[in-house]
Amino acid sequence: MAANRTVELSEESYDLLVRESERRGMAPDALADELVQHELAPAVKDLAEALSALAQLRERLPKIDGLALARTARDELERRVA
């Protein structure tokens, strides 16, 4: 659950936050929370932790046949050039 907190920013910093949040299509407070979480979260201290996190990420990614993808791209390029 989110708690309301007040953080004072310079006008320049707030303008940057607003512009970036608009670019990303999100509210400034959501972007501020994301930036704080990303920048201030504890760093991965252990190689095993990092590898485990990468393995979990890889499991969520779609399976891709790289050779088939390259062949399809090459065929499409050849059709465009022909």
Instruction: Assess if residue 46 is contained within a domain.
Output: yes
Instruction: Assess if residue 37 is contained within a domain.
Output: yes
Instruction: Assess if residue 67 is contained within a domain.
Output: yes
Q: What is the DSSP string of the chain?
A: ----------HHHHHHHHHHHHHHTS-HHHHHHHHHHHHHSPPP--HHHHHHHHHHHHHHSPP--HHHHHHHHHHHHHHHH-
Instruction: Assess if residue 65 is contained within a domain.
Output: yes
pTM of the model: 0.49
Report whether pLDDT(13) > 70: yes
Instruction: Assess if residue 1 is contained within a domain.
Output: no
Q: What is the pLDDT of residues 44-71, one digit of tens each?
A: 677 888 899 899 999 998 888 999 999 9
What number is the average pLDDT over the span 16-38? 93
22-26, 27-31, 50-54, 76-80: segment of lowest average pLDDT: 50-54
Q: Which domain holds residue 49?
A: 11-81
Question: How many folded domains does the chain comprise?
Answer: 1
